[in-house]
């Protein structure tokens, strides 16, 4: 019986050792996966530095200041002022959405994506903000030109009225 018990004990010990080895492999593999997924949540300095945050901030400030400047222009009818206000509000809403996306891409723990995807998203956000900046410059310049033309027209009408002495 002793030999059988010894054989049985050796078999159990061998199985226990194999199970521990399997558990070690499993936990090691799990640790590797966990480390990989954890790394996807972290923003690396190279990625963070790839975003030109100063240009984005300058464009954002320029958009806001240009939109504020055209709100106070004289020469727009009420419906035109309402249109300008609506366009301004839509631009600000979209800009805030872009800035929220930018913050989530650059904040550790917000997204689980690789560096290449982070960089792609940063490029898309930057391009979107640049597009809004270009549109804002164009739109505001057109509104300013419209107001200037109307002021010039009003000045010419007043000059003609004085010249012909019409009231």
Q: How far apart are CA 91 and CA 78, in angstroms?
A: 20
Closest CA relative to residue 131, chosen from 64, 59, 50: 59
pTM given for the model: 0.74
Instruction: Please report, to the nearest 10 degrees, the dihedral formed by the alpha carbons of residues 161, 76, 74, 93 taken in order.
Output: -170
Q: What is the pLDDT of residues 118-161, one digit of tens each?
A: 899 999 999 999 999 999 999 999 999 999 999 999 899 999 88
Chain segment 52-102, per-residue pLDDT in tens: 888 999 999 999 999 999 988 888 999 999 999 999 999 999 999 999 999
DSSP code for 44: P
As given in the structure block, the two tokens for residue 100 are 């929220």
Q: Are 80 and 110 in contact (CB under 8 A)?
A: no
93 token code pair: 């809403």
């Amino acid at each position: 019986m002793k030999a059988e018990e010894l054989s049985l004990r050796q078999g159990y010990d061998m199985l226990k050792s194999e199970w521990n080895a399997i558990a070690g492999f499993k936990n090691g593999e799990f640790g590797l996966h966990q480390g990989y997924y954890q790394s996807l949540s972290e923003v690396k300095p190279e990625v963070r530095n790839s975003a030109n945050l100063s240009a984005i901030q300058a464009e954002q400030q320029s958009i806001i200041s240009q939109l504020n400047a055209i709100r106070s222009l004289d020469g727009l009818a009420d419906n035109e002022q309402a249109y300008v206000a609506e366009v301004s509000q839509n631009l600000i809403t979209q800009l805030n959405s872009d800035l929220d996306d930018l913050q989530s891409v650059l904040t550790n723990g917000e997204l689980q994506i690789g560096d290449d995807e982070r960089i792609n998203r940063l490029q898309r956000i930057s391009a979107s903000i640049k597009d809004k900046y270009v549109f804002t410059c164009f739109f505001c310049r057109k509104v300013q030109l419209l107001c200037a033309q109307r002021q010039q027209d009003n000045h010419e009408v007043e000059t003609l009225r004085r010249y012909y002495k019409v009231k």
